[in-house]
Amino acid sequence: MTGYFDGASRGNPGEAGAGAWLAGEDGGVVWETAAYLGKKTNNEAEYNAAILLLKAARERGVTKLLVRGDSKLVVSQLSKQWKINLPHLRELAREAWSVAEGMEVTYEWVPRAQNKRADELSNEAIDGAAR
């Protein structure tokens, strides 16, 4: 199964949202969410979106997951290619790894154009909270 995530923050930190969705074998939407996060930095929003995606996959019994996101930082840190220097991001990474335990998860960076739906969802979350 393939999952996509994106976080958005209007201001850094600022009003933030997380968007994530799971694609079935046919590429159709199996699950999606747009979650308002309150005040967060962009990187915190990205991590929270990845965690929401991993939790949804776990709840659905997914054992093998390809996670795609357009945050080079989060993808590289969760795949353990880059060090995590900031303690609060290290904590979020630990949470993601804990949720993913027992699952075979591969992280892949994609250009923003290939992550359109997750981006829309993250912005919908902020727009919905503003109403």
SS (H, E, C) 29-98: EEEEEEEEEEEECHHHHHHHHHHHHHHHHHHCCCCEEEEEECCHHHHHHHCCCCCCCCHHHHHHHHHHHH
In a domain, 2, yes or no: no
In a domain, 1, yes or no: no
State residue 80's pLDDT score: 97
Query: What CATH number has the domain bearing residue 81?
Result: 3.30.420.10
In a domain, 48, yes or no: yes
Evaluate if residue 25 carries a pLDDT over 80.
yes
List the domain range (segments joined by +) for residue 124: 11-130
Q: How many domains does the chain have?
A: 1
In a domain, 6, yes or no: no
In a domain, 5, yes or no: no
Over the stretch 43-70, which tens digit does the pLDDT of each residue have?
Answer: 999 999 999 999 999 999 999 999 999 9
Beta strands across the sheet bearing 14-23? 29-40, 14-23, 2-11, 64-69, 104-109
CB 29 within 8 A of CB 21: yes
Evaluate if residue 131 carries a pLDDT over 70.
no
Evaluate if residue 130 carries a pLDDT over 90.
no
Over the stretch 80-102, which tens digit does the pLDDT of each residue have?
Answer: 999 999 999 999 999 999 999 99
Does this model's pTM top 0.85? My answer is: yes
pLDDT confidence tier of residue 129, bands split at 50, 70 and 90 = confident
